[in-house]
Amino acid sequence: MSGAGDGWPPLPAPPGPVEAAALEAAAAELAARCPGRVSRDLPLAPLTTFRLGGPAALFLRAETVADLAALGGVLAATRLPLLVVGRGSNLLIADAGWPGVVLHLGQRFRRIEIEGTEMEVGAATPLPGLAARSAAASLGGIAFAVAIPGSVGGGVRMNAGAHGTELADRLVWADVLQLTDPEGSGEPHDGPAGRRSGPVPPTGAREPQGPEGSGEPHDGPAGRRSGPVPPTGAGEPQRGAPVGRAPVGRAGQVAAAPPAGPVRLKPDQLGFGYRRSALPPGAVVTAARFALAPAQEAAVRAEIDEARRWRRDNQPVNQPNCGSVFANPPEMAAGRALELLGMKGERCGGAQVSQVHANFIVAADGASSADVLALIRRAMRRARDQLGVTLRTEVQLVGDFGGEPR
């Protein structure tokens, strides 16, 4: 088999080009409709658990569905690429940053409401918070979420899980807002929208996320679930009148009406699989509801404590990382494959395969996203050439990584 010189796996495709005029028009429109919540050239590294990556050309912290509707109209007019960033736990952003719009759901999308044995939560709510709240309410079934360092929205998007359980097992419904044309642009939570900058391998080898962050605390079984893919249009919201004034596009056209509001989808409409869903591109989860079961508070807290202990003992929790780098292939756990390849401790620049768990890459001071990507590609080549195993990335790789493959 061939090695590094064959150019495999390919670099992620860049999201550009982005027209400066379109970016300026989008910035002005969003600033007018979402005052105080729009930034230019905002550093993204602090929003990711890797603490890596360049800035966002345009950043929106959305606090209401009206903010999302405004963004939908702007994207329809300008066709700028969109990146949705939650807690950034399953994300590697290129050192060049993101040239289009980055969406981050703000504090008003953080909420937890309990009704009987069901829990309704906002998409920006941290998953560990669900576990803690469930214990306080004497409800079991979602304690595993304490081991997932992502948010609810990204977790639903990629069907995050831990310790043999996944969110799809408890989900009643998810509210989803389609921000972009699923045929023309868009991507997942903690993933690009617009022109695809998808992960390696290319489309067909991996389902996209997003998440954000499965935070998988162990190398569990792959391919446990293969739910139905929603039919065409499932997840496409009804279209309604724009909120506020309609944005003007590059050539002065008035944009198509932005989405009227979220659509409520049940699990069988979400096409869940192992660390993925079939949510269409540009779809943003805004809320979700989970069905739990009565349990003793002490028992739930003990389960949470055990999950935390396991994570501390088996993951590099005190070093910047993105969670599991690779999804588990059918042949063996990804971490086991990397151990067989002798990659524990291997370095590239400031990035290193963790000595604690081989399916984690940690970033030291001075590390770059390019260093991490080089290690990812090196591991994929060796697994293919030496073990006959094809690894697919669980982490989302977004932005223009450019340059020559390493």
Active site residues: 275, 324, 394
Taking Cα atoms as reference points, which of 193, 148, 155, 196 lies closest to residue 174?
155
How crowded is residue 308: how many other Cβ atoms within 10 Å of its Cβ? 16
- Provide the Cα torsion 3, 219, 52, 279; round to 10°: 100
C-alpha to C-alpha distance for 217 and 202, rounded to whole angstroms: 26
C-alpha to C-alpha distance for 250 and 288, rounded to whole angstroms: 36
How crowded is residue 366: how many other Cβ atoms within 10 Å of its Cβ? 9
Cis peptide before 202 (omega within 30 of 0): no
C-alpha to C-alpha distance for 323 and 372, rounded to whole angstroms: 13
- The three-class DSSP label of residue 374 is helix
Half-sphere exposure of residue 299: CA atoms within 13 angstroms, side-chain side: 9
- The three-class DSSP label of residue 26 is helix
**Which helix (H) or strand (E) is 66 found in, with range?**
helix 65-78
Alpha-carbon distances of 100 from 19, 42, 55, 245, 402, rounded to whole Å: 9, 12, 10, 22, 16
How crowded is residue 233: how many other Cβ atoms within 10 Å of its Cβ? 9
C-alpha to C-alpha distance for 227 and 278, rounded to whole angstroms: 9
Number of H helices, E strands in the chain: 7, 21
Alpha-carbon distances of 40 from 52, 58, 59, 227, rounded to whole Å: 18, 5, 6, 40
